[in-house]
């Protein structure tokens, strides 16, 4: 290829070719033309692929008679090509920044855990959704379906080597074999924040602020999202009113957590099957239908611990400034057996999506693993539903690729100097793509694709004078600069 100074046509191209803006990048779950073509191409590999999502479907990855592997990932799981990975990284950065603002420390655990950590009282839906198996050493293991038990295990392991309170967060992958719907997959990533060693509802107030901070950073408002709040102690107080045995508490919680998913008649039938009287069933459903804290106080009395906790939490919400985000809803009990007090879940006010996140207090979890209990509370916030909500609200950021510089040698013998220039810029913190063996027209198009800020051309005549040519792609400004002075 001719040197820059001896090729007027190249100079003409540089002057006339502006940097063109790129359209929004296709993000996870959207259907671009590229995705459609990709899907068609995948079907060429295997005619046995199916778009039907069912709970009992077969694994999608297989080898056909011709020995060609279906390139789709297993049903309910995802690949992350670069554009989707940029979105995931951006979202995780938001999780981490909120955690930093709240003075939480990051921890992590293995995705593969002991099965015993997740086998609890019968009736929990999660115990029916485990990816569990026996490893080659004969040990029963599981791909974790949630993170809190792993966290509890680490707290027990650390013992007295750490001082309370602990404020820890993690971002980890979870697995559940469940029926897939919008925002629900068989694997997802989850942001967890947990506090150990704070018995007062100030801990829950802090967690709720973290959730609200995250929403605000994403551009979501209290008119888009609300957070329903209640307490497991509400249900406990109702059971006490009807002298219902303590051992039925967890089973009743799991049933009433289906309120809104099953009809009232179905809920009543399931409750009756546990041995509860029709009067008790009626009383439970009536109380759990309350949406007013003052009416709850009328029914249970002001001396009940659940009422006092909730009133204190709503008082904190006023002080934190997020009272308009939260509302009392006695039907919120959460489906996991270990919750003991305040529980909450975020929802989109239009009702198009499943719960965005949820959590609560679990003061007695550690004793189920044979350790001494520590007051604790936390929440889990998945990646899938929040992305769906951001799409719904038009709040997804531009995830197009961005590179600072493209360095392009105009002749093969200049590849060495070009690599030296690229190395120098990278050491200065600039993102640099070194391109060789391409036509200049391709380099321009490549610059548009990756949103490069500058094009740096290394040509013979300039290099002989110790110079290189720089083009600012957004303004089409171009100039020569000494190679050692390039910043």
Strand, helix or coil for residue 42? helix
Please give the structure tokens belonging to residue 233.
Answer: 């102690």
Cα-Cα-Cα-Cα torsion 259, 262, 263, 267, nearest 10 degrees, comes to: -70
CA angle at 125 for the pair 281 and 341, rounded to the nearest 5°:
60
Burial bucket for residue 251 (CB in 10 Å: 0-12, 13-18, 19+): buried
Residues facing 262 on adjacent strands: 259
How does DSSP assign 189-216, residue by residue? EEEEEEEES--STHHHHHHHHHHHHHHH
- DSSP code for 367: G
Residues making up the binding site? 146-148, 176, 190, 194, 334, 338-339
CA angle at 296 for the pair 291 and 300, rounded to the nearest 5°:
155
Task: With beta carbons less than 8 A apart as the criterion, state whether 55 and 105 touch.
Answer: no
Measured distance CA(213)–CA(98) in Å, rounded? 7
The Cα-based distances of 264 to 253, 275, 288 in angstroms read: 15, 17, 12
Q: Where are the beta strands (DSSP E) in 61-116?
A: 105-106, 112-114
Measured distance CA(459)–CA(456) in Å, rounded? 10
Residues facing 188 on adjacent strands: 174
Residues making up the binding site for L-histidine? 146-148, 176, 190, 194, 334, 338-339
- Terminal CA-to-CA distance of the chain, rounded, Å? 27
Please give the structure tokens belonging to residue 250.
Answer: 């967890």
């Amino acid at each position: 290829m001719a040197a820059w100074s001896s090729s007027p046509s190249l100079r003409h191209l540089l002057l006339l070719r502006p940097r063109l803006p790129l359209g929004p990048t296709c993000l996870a779950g959207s259907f671009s033309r590229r995705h459609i073509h990709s899907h068609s191409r995948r079907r060429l590999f295997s005619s046995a692929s199916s778009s039907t999502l069912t709970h009992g479907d077969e694994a999608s990855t297989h080898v056909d008679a011709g020995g060609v592997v279906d390139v789709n990932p297993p049903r309910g799981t995802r690949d992350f090509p670069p554009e989707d990975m940029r979105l995931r990284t951006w979202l995780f950065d938001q999780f981490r920044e909120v955690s930093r603002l709240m003075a939480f420390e990051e921890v992590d655990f293995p995705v593969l855990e002991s099965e015993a950590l997740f086998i609890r009282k019968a009736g929990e839906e999660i115990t029916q959704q485990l990816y569990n198996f026996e490893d080659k050493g004969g040990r029963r293991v599981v791909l974790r379906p949630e993170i809190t038990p792993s966290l509890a295990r680490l707290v027990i392991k650390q013992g007295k080597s750490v001082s309370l309170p602990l404020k820890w967060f993690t971002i980890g992958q979870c697995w559940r074999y469940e029926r897939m719907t919008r925002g629900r997959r068989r694997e997802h990533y989850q942001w967890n924040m947990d506090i150990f060693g704070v018995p007062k509802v100030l801990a829950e107030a802090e967690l709720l602020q973290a959730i609200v901070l995250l929403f605000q950073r994403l551009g979501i408002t209290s008119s888009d999202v609300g957070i329903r709040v209640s307490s497991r102690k509400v249900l406990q107080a109702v059971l006490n009113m009807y002298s219902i045995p303590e051992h039925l508490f967890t089973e009743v919680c799991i049933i009433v957590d289906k309120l809104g998913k099953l009809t009232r008649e179905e809920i009543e039938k399931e409750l009756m099957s546990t041995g509860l009287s029709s009067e008790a069933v009626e009383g439970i459903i009536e109380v759990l239908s309350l949406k007013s804290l003052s009416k709850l106080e009328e029914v249970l009395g002001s001396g009940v611990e659940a009422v006092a906790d909730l009133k204190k939490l709503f008082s904190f919400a006023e002080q934190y400034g997020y009272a308009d985000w939260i509302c009392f809803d006695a039907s919120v009990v959460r489906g996991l057996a270990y919750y003991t007090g305040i529980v909450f879940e975020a929802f989109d006010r239009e009702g198009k999506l499943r719960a965005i996140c949820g959590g609560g207090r679990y003061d007695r979890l550690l004793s189920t693993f044979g350790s001494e209990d520590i007051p604790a509370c936390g929440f889990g916030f998945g990646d899938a539903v929040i992305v769906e909500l951001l799409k719904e609200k038009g709040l997804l950021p531009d995830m197009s690729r961005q590179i600072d510089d493209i360095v392009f040698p105009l002749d093969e013998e200049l590849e060495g100097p070009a690599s030296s220039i690229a190395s120098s810029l990278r050491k200065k913190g600039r993102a640099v793509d070194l391109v060789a063996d391409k036509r200049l027209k391709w380099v321009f198009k490549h610059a548009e694709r990756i949103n490069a800020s500058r094009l740096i051309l290394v040509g013979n005549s300039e290099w002989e004078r110790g110079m290189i040519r720089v083009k600012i792609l957004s303004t089409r400004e171009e100039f020569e600069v000494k190679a050692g002075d390039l910043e």
